[in-house]
Amino acid sequence: MSGQLKNEVNNSSEPTLKKFAEIKNKHIGIATQSYYVNDAQYASVLTREFDILTPEYQMKMGQVQPQQGVFDFGEADKLVSFARKNNMLIRGHALIWHQSLPDWVVNGHFTKEQWIQIMKDHITKTVSHFKGEIYAWDVVNEAFYQNGAFRPTVWYDNIGPEYIDLAFQFAHEADPNAKLFYNDFDTEVTNPRSNAIYKMVTGMKARGVPIDGIGFQTHLKIEGVDYSEMKKNLKRFGDLGLDTDITEMDIVTHTFAGTQEERLQAQAKVYSGVIQVAMSLPSCKSVVFWGLKDGNSWLNKYTGFSEYPLLFDNNYDKKPAYEATLNQLKL
């Protein structure tokens, strides 16, 4: 097998994450970019281990509508065709967010009616473009502060809290078959933000607004994860009939005192605990990690430290976090 890329050979007997996730009727995936999947080794590990992917940023408004009325789906289309070719699902991310916005929105001055039309046009054009290709959309992302107050975004400030109902209605009209999610971070346990989301979705369901799930981003530290609290919190949303998916999981390591090996072992324990919660909940249909290998992680820029947050190291070797995740999927 000279010249074979490491990890390229995947005999069918080799245990993989997606093989065991499938047995539990769950999907497991990563966030990725069109530039990454051109690398043969990256694509080999991605398609061997995972059956769902999320465009890390190439479906966001700043990418797909850089100028008002001018849409560019080029890079996102490459990811969609990669997923289709490899029989993978796609999580669309994210239609309405306060970040990754084009300048014409950030600096825009419009009437409330015009802002509603802008939001409708963006959602309708984007969702229609990918109609039939998207398993689930993150329709609204990060609409609440940690204290449970509405985040003052360009959408909230110019339309009001009803922007959320409207966004979900527009998305449903454009693709009635896509699951529609609200997505946020630091919501894994009961706290003011997850309580605000619970109140919001209870109202949405009472008003007949189409919503199918809550995305729990699950960006964690090694310390302080309360798994039983997490299970209780996700279950209360599941009891509303909503999917409760893990959408962006990673675990920073720089905050944990210890040797690198101690850090990676402690990290693996957290992956194990969270995956155990996810597998125990029928409402959790998918788990997505926010990247494939440590060097791909956004956290290296976001925290300013070297982070080792994901399942694979930069040589595509499986870390203790991978083995811990696989062992939970095998149970």
Minimal distance, residue 313 CB to ligand XIL, in Å? 19
Token pair listed for 199? 């109140």
Q: Is 165 in the site for ligand XIL (CB under 6 A)?
A: no
Buried b (16+ CB within 10 A) or exposed e, 209-240: bbbbbbbbbbbbebeebebeebbebbbbbbee
Q: Residues 6 or more apart from 259 whose CB is under 8 A from it?
A: none
Q: Is 188 in the site for ligand XIL (CB under 6 A)?
A: no
Which string of x and - marks every residue 248-267 that binds ligand XIL (by CB under 6 A)? x-------------------
The one catalytic residue among 49, 133, 248, 307: 248
Q: Is 298 in the site for ligand XIL (CB under 6 A)?
A: yes
Three-class secondary structure of residue 229 per DSSP: helix
Which string of x and - marks every residue 45-64 that binds ligand XIL (by CB under 6 A)? -----------xx-------
Alpha-carbon distance of 160 to 140, in angstroms, equals 14
CA distances from 167 to 25, 112, 145, 275, 320 (A): 29, 14, 19, 31, 40
* 142 catalytic residue (yes or no): yes
Minimal distance, residue 213 CB to ligand XIL, in Å? 15
- DSSP lists the bridge partners of residue 136 as 91, 179
The nearer residue to ligand XIL, 21 or 310, going by C-beta atoms, is: 310
* 248 catalytic residue (yes or no): yes
Dihedral sign of CA atoms 47, 52, 56, 58 in order: positive
Q: Nearest 5°: CA angle at 68, between 131 and 107?
A: 125
Q: Is 73 in the site for ligand XIL (CB under 6 A)?
A: no
The one catalytic residue among 56, 142, 188, 307: 142
Among 217, 218, 253, 328, binds ligand XIL (CB under 6 A): 217
Applying CB under 6 A, which residues contact ligand XIL? Answer: 56-57, 94, 141, 185, 217, 248, 298
User: Would you please indicate which residues are annotated as catalytic (active-site) residues?
Assistant: 142, 248
